[in-house]
Amino acid sequence: MEVFVARQPVFDRSRELYGYELLCRSNDLANEIGGVDSGTATTQVIANSLLAIGLDNIVCGKKAFLNVDHALLESGLHSILPPEAMVFELVESVEPTDQLLTTCRDLQRLGYAIALDNFVEQPRLQPLTQAVNLIKVDIQKTPREEQERLVQTYQPRGIALVAQKVETQEEFEWAQRIGFDYFQGYFFARPALVRAHQIPAAKVNCLRLLREIQNDDLDFARLESMIAPDVSLSFKLLSYVNSALFAGFEEISSIQRALARLGEQAIRRWVVLAALPVMAKDKPGELIVHSLVRAHFCEHLVELAGVGNKSTGFLMGLFSLLDALLDVPLVEGLHQAGVGVSVCGALLGTTGEDDPLRKIYQLVCRYEAGDWKAVSEFAARLHVRTSSLVDAYSESTLWAQQALQATRRKANSRRSARHAAHGNLHVLWADEFGHERISGAQLMNVSPDGIQLQLTDRLPVRADVCCNAPNLGIAGRGSVRYCNPSKGKYLVGLEFGNGTGWRGPV
């Protein structure tokens, strides 16, 4: 049985990713999963999709929100799903029977979270509010006065409030201000309303680099001239080529030699991964993930449809969110990036309806929105098997996380023992305002998976930190696990998703 699975992000008040709502459908469009058909076949479709694709590959260690009804809960679905990862959303059509209340409380005792979806206060639903952890409110349909009342009524009872369909920055700020705990919608991918907006110099340089890598033949001298004057990009490039990924090679200390070692294909990918965090510096981190998932998904679809160069699909997906990254209209962002005519036409809808790139882009957008009927129609027009879409999307979500060096472990876990070590090195990191800084640090201990440093600057927890100290056998990108005051300085623990490059005590 063919199954579609897409995801929509849910954020916390700090705009950190909290989880994903999973949108599932079988290829039989009459069988709309999520509570409309609650028989055994529906349960099997959801179970198979999550087990076959891999739950962690889809939600990457975050919460998974899944629409269910009473029959689906009674089917035993929870027995194959981890309690710490799941939020079961009761659809608005459920009847609050005594049996349902008992089932919800039993699931809560097992560690599962229960949510009420599209909540509208009415007497028949009051009993259910005593047995749920979250309430989701559609802020497009619910008047603002009612939104405030719902927050004031249910939050003191220990129930978290989720604002659904948050479409703009203004709506997010409103919902945040009145006290909503979580937020769901496309606000992170919509540009803020600005006037006379000037793109910062760092973003302009990244746009120039993205424009340059679109050429069929890369001009290494031009790339060097763009990267070398930028301290941050230079540091990232040298750290990358001297990391454990290139173990066995001699140390590289020049931009020219670093580019030569990477080669054209690897340079194109490195530029994307180095440029995106700069362009999304003042945006939710999920926007970077979304951009990479789209890029890789489009790349897959171009290959599956046999309609052109894979790199064209990758860039189309990447550039489709330029308006959100730069806070300018998409047409202006595409012009700034010097995007080719074929990709511009597909993204702006100015090409004919039979244009394959335009159809691929529309398919991707419909897939993300869970519009499965449109997905099937576009797949048929592109002569792509619907079953291949699930594999392509799942692989794209996993690739995006790996490309950003995310780990499947909890942030506070440690994989191996550390050994005392001494030496001085420099690290590149971003402060809470998104400004990149370089600090001197003293190495305290090290393992293949992480290091402990002492330095005078306080580093934000979970911040990315680049290290490049070949003389100490350490190079790569780590994430801050903790930053604790110690004797007038700070002790900082870093975990490296792809390893520190350290090979053990001599």
Interval 378-401: pLDDT, tens: 999 999 988 788 888 888 887 887
Give the whole-angstrom CA distance, residue 399 versus residue 58.
11
CATH code of 419-496, in short, is: 2.40.10.220
Choose among 177, 183, 236: nearest CA to 206: 236
Are 204 and 335 contacting, i.e. CB atoms less than 8 angstroms apart?
Answer: no
At 252, the pLDDT band (50, 70, 90 cuts) reads: confident
User: Is the pLDDT higher at 147 or at 229?
Assistant: 147
Residues of the chain with CATH 1.10.3210.10: 201-403
The residue type of 390 is V
Choose among 30, 66, 31, 62: nearest CA to 47: 66
Residues of the chain with CATH 3.20.20.450: 3-189
pLDDT tens figures, 319-330: 998 888 887 888
* Mean pLDDT computed over 105-112: 91
Residue 293, pLDDT above cutoff 70: yes
Give the whole-angstrom CA distance, residue 331 versus residue 348.
7
Residue 301, pLDDT above cutoff 90: yes
Give the whole-angstrom CA distance, residue 33 versus residue 328.
37
**pTM for the predicted model, two decimal places:** 0.69
Eight-class DSSP state of 191: P
In this predicted structure, what is the pLDDT of residue 28? 47
User: Is the pLDDT higher at 68 or at 65?
Assistant: 65
Q: Across the chain, what does the average pLDDT equal? A: 81
Q: In whole angstroms, how large is the CA radius of gyration of the chain?
A: 24
**CATH domain 201-403 topology:** Hypothetical protein af1432 (1.10.3210)
**Alpha-carbon distance values, 164 to 89, 159, 185, 190, 207 (Å):** 13, 16, 6, 15, 33
Give the whole-angstrom CA distance, residue 40 versus residue 91.
18
In this predicted structure, what is the pLDDT of residue 192? 59
Are 400 and 416 contacting, i.e. CB atoms less than 8 angstroms apart?
Answer: no
At 242, the pLDDT band (50, 70, 90 cuts) reads: confident
Contacts 24+ apart (CB under 8 A), 253-260: 255/224, 255/227, 255/228, 256/220, 256/224, 259/220, 259/223, 259/224, 259/227, 260/220
In this predicted structure, what is the pLDDT of residue 413? 38
User: Is the pLDDT higher at 377 or at 192?
Assistant: 377
What is the distance in angstroms between the CA of the first residue and the CA of the last residue of the chain? Answer: 54
% of the chain with per-residue pLDDT over 70: 85
Query: Which range (60-74, 99-113, 352-366) has the least confidence?
Result: 60-74
Query: Which range (358-372, 384-398, 411-425) has the least confidence?
Result: 411-425
pLDDT tens figures, 419-437: 778 889 888 887 766 677 8
3-189: CATH class: alpha beta
Residues of the chain with CATH 2.40.10.220: 419-496
The residue type of 416 is S
Residue 262, pLDDT above cutoff 60: yes
In this predicted structure, what is the pLDDT of residue 360? 95
* Burial category of 435 from C-beta neighbours within 10 Å (exposed 0-12, middle 13-18, buried 19 and up): exposed
Residue 408, pLDDT above cutoff 80: no
User: Is the pLDDT higher at 33 or at 101?
Assistant: 101
Residue 407, pLDDT above cutoff 50: no
In this predicted structure, what is the pLDDT of residue 198? 62
Give the whole-angstrom CA distance, residue 4 versus residue 337.
33
* Mean pLDDT computed over 295-304: 93
Cα 389 to chain centroid distance, Å, stands at 19
